[in-house]
Structure 1
Amino acid sequence: MKMYKWILVLLLSWVATSTAPALAQSQSETTTAAASSSQVEMADVMRQDGKIYIVVAVLVTVLIGLLIYLISIDKKVARLEREIRQ
């Protein structure tokens, strides 16, 4: 059960650190010229074509797969630790 808590803490800290830079600067502080030059054209094109959702889906699938793999390994290690203690 400890492993689930550590995974949850790591996941939440990753989310917190990945969203912090996006919230660091308000929209009123940027000028329209700076905002237009900093936009990524590829992201806009992918968003318009709907392909950005495919990228997000693949990333979420990979992360969920890693999480399931870590949980299964934790269960196996816990089972082996119980066998060693007995």
Structure 2
Amino acid sequence: MKMYKYILTLLLFWAVGTSAPVIAQTTAETTSSSSTPLQSNPDVEMADVMRQDGKIYIVVAVLVSILLGVLVYLINLDRKVSRLEKEFRQ
């Protein structure tokens, strides 16, 4: 049961860490003429093209499925290890 708490905590920190920069951006930051590596460049049209073609949703779906697969694998592995620990104690 401890492993579930660790995995849940890790996922929570991951979700907060990856969504914070997206929430912090405003339209003034993305349309400025001086761009830094952290700001999006308005000259790059790849994201717009991917959104128009609907490919961005495919990318998001693949990433989510990979992360869910890793999570399911870790949960199954934790169950197996817990079962082996119980057998070893007896």
In structure 1, stretches of 5+ residues that fail to align are none
Q: Which residue of 1 aligns with 2:15?
A: 15
Map Cα deviations across residues 31-77 of structure 1 (whole Å, 9 max, x no partner). 73438x71342111110000111101110110010000000000000
| 2:37 is the counterpart of 1:38 | no
TM-score by length of 1: 0.84
* Identity %, equivalent residues: 64
Q: Which residue of 2 aligns with 1:81?
A: 85
State the one-letter code of the partner of 1:38.
Answer: N
State the one-letter code of the partner of 2:31.
Answer: T
CA distance in 2, matches of 1:68, 1:31: 37
Which of 1 and 2 has higher RCO (CA within 8 Å, sep 6+)? Answer: 1
In structure 2, stretches of 5+ residues that fail to align are none
The root-mean-square deviation of aligned C-alpha atoms, in Å, is: 2.0
Count of residue pairs brought into register by the alignment = 84
